[in-house]
Amino acid sequence: MISLLHDGYHPPSGIKDYPAHLHIDLLPEGQKQGWGKILINLLCEELKEMGVAGVHLEVSKRNTNAIGFYQRTGFRVLLAGNTFIRFGRSL
């Protein structure tokens, strides 16, 4: 199953130092309470203990709340495309 998931997948350029991928969605009632930061920090701690060097994610340029959130959570811009921003966080 794992090989089928990755069959034909080509990781985007510029993420060699950020091999883990993060995707987080909180319902509106769970936002702005610190849960996102807690979950991301827990994941990053676990990944670091596993020897993972970094984590990346992408967000729509229209999602200004998420952009600010990720920047406050230690992510830096790796690439700004036409419609998205790719962030990375070293662990």
| 9-13, 35-39, 44-48, 65-69: segment of lowest average pLDDT | 9-13
Residue 68, CA distances (Å) to 32, 44, 53, 60 in order = 12, 18, 23, 12
| Domain boundaries of the chain, sorted by first residue | 2-90
* pTM of the entire predicted model: 0.84
Question: In this structure, how many other beta carbons lie within 10 angstroms of the beta carbon of residue 10?
Answer: 6
Are the C-beta atoms of 24 and 88 separated by less than 8 Å?
no
CATH topology of domain 2-90: Aminopeptidase (3.40.630)
pLDDT per position as a tens digit, 24-59: 988 989 888 999 999 999 999 999 999 999 999 999
What are the strands of the beta sheet with 76-80, ordered from one edge? 20-21, 54-60, 84-90, 76-80
* Bridge partner list, 13: none
**Mean per-residue pLDDT, 56-64:** 95
Residue with tokens 């807690």: 38
Residue 12 confidence (pLDDT) above 70: yes
